[in-house]
Structure 1
Amino acid sequence: MARTRRREIKRVPRTDAALPEYDRGALPEGLLTRRQLRAQGLSPGGHDPVGILRCKACAYRPQWSCIHPTRAWLYSVHRARLKRTPTLAQERALDQAMAARQTCPRCRRRYYFCLPLRTLGCCLECHDGTPADPTSYVAPPGHALAA
C-alpha cells in the first residue's frame, strides 16, 4: 500500500501577511463577510477584500497567519453596493433551469424540490411506487389532482 506524502504547509508570520487579520469577536466596525453583506442586501461591488477573518483553529496560534480554507474575506461596508436585481429574462431562465431539475419526465409533475434525476431518472412514485404527498408537487396541465 502506497503512503501519501503529507502536504507541506508554509507558515507565514502574522506580521508579514498581505491583509490584516482579525479574530472572531474582535472585528472593527464596518467590516463584514460576503454572507453578511448579502444578508443586508449588499454586494462587495467589485472591490477587493480589506481583511481576513481568522478561523477558530488559528485563535490558538496568534503569531501565525491563517491559511485554512475556513477563513473568510472581509469587505468594507462603505464600499459595498446594493445587490443587482435580476431582469425578467434572467428570472425566466432560472425558472426554466429549476423546472428541468424539479419535473419528473414520466408523470410530468413539478415538485417543490429537486429530483434525483441522475441516479433514478424520475420521481420516487414513478421509480418504486412510493406515494408522493399531494402538497409536494404541482400537477401537470390538463390533469386533475387526485383527492
Structure 2
Amino acid sequence: MAGRLYDPTGARYGIPTYPWRMAPEEYATFRQLRTRGLRPGGQGVAAQVLWYSRRYRRTGKSPIRVAYLYRLDRAKPVRPMTPAKWAALAKANAARQVCPECRRDTGYRIPTSLGMCVACSDAP
C-alpha cells in the first residue's frame, strides 16, 4: 500500500512524494520548522508526505491525507515580535475575555461554543 505513495522523483504526483515517516531528513513540515524556530521564508512546497487515514475513510472523505514539506536549507529564522505586534496581540486577547452579554471581564477566554461567559449561559 505504501509503495503507491512512494514517488521520490515526482513523476506521478508532480512533486517528490513519500509515505508516512519515510521523508528524507532535509525536509520538514511547517510545524517542524516552527519548533526549530524557522519559517519557510517564501519557498514553495518542496515535497509531500501521503498516508492513509482510517478516520477519514469512515466519513466519506478521501482517505489519503497530505502534509507538505519544505527544505530546511532554504528556511529562514522566524521574525521576532515587535512591540507593536505584542501590543496588538495583548489587545486581541483582552477582547476575547469580555462577555458580549454582560460586558464584564471574565478573566478567562470566552468559549466560542457558548458565545458568552459561563455565568450568562447558565442564567435562566
Which residue of the partner structure matches residue 141 of structure 1? Answer: none
Equivalent pair of 1:30/1:78 in contact (CA under 8 Å): yes
Q: Structure 1 residues 102 and 43 mapped into 2: Cα distance closer, same or farther (>3 Å)? A: same
- Aligned counterpart for 1:124 among listed residues 111, 118, 121: 118
CA offset digits 1:70-119 (Å, max 9, x no partner) = 30111111100111112111111121112111123526224233344x85
Q: Which runs of 5 or more structure 2 residues have no equivalent in the other structure? A: 1-6, 54-61
Q: Which runs of 5 or more structure 1 residues have no equivalent in the other structure? A: 1-13, 58-66, 130-147
Question: Could you tell me the percent identity over the aligned residues?
Answer: 34
Name which one, 1 or 2, has greater alpha-carbon Rg.
1
Is the counterpart of residue 95 in structure 1 residue 90 in structure 2?
Answer: yes
Is the counterpart of residue 83 in structure 1 residue 89 in structure 2?
Answer: no
TM-score with structure 2 setting the length:
0.70
Name the Cα RMSD after superposition.
Answer: 2.5
TM-score with structure 1 setting the length:
0.60
More strand by share: 2
Is the counterpart of residue 25 in structure 1 residue 21 in structure 2?
Answer: yes
User: Displaced runs of 4+ in structure 1, greater than 6 A?
Assistant: none
Q: 2:75 and 2:81 mapped to 1: Cα distance?
A: 18
The one-letter code sitting in structure 2 at the alignment partner of 1:28 is P
Q: 2:65 and 2:12 mapped to 1: Cα distance?
A: 20
Equivalent pair of 2:106/2:117 in contact (CA under 8 Å): no
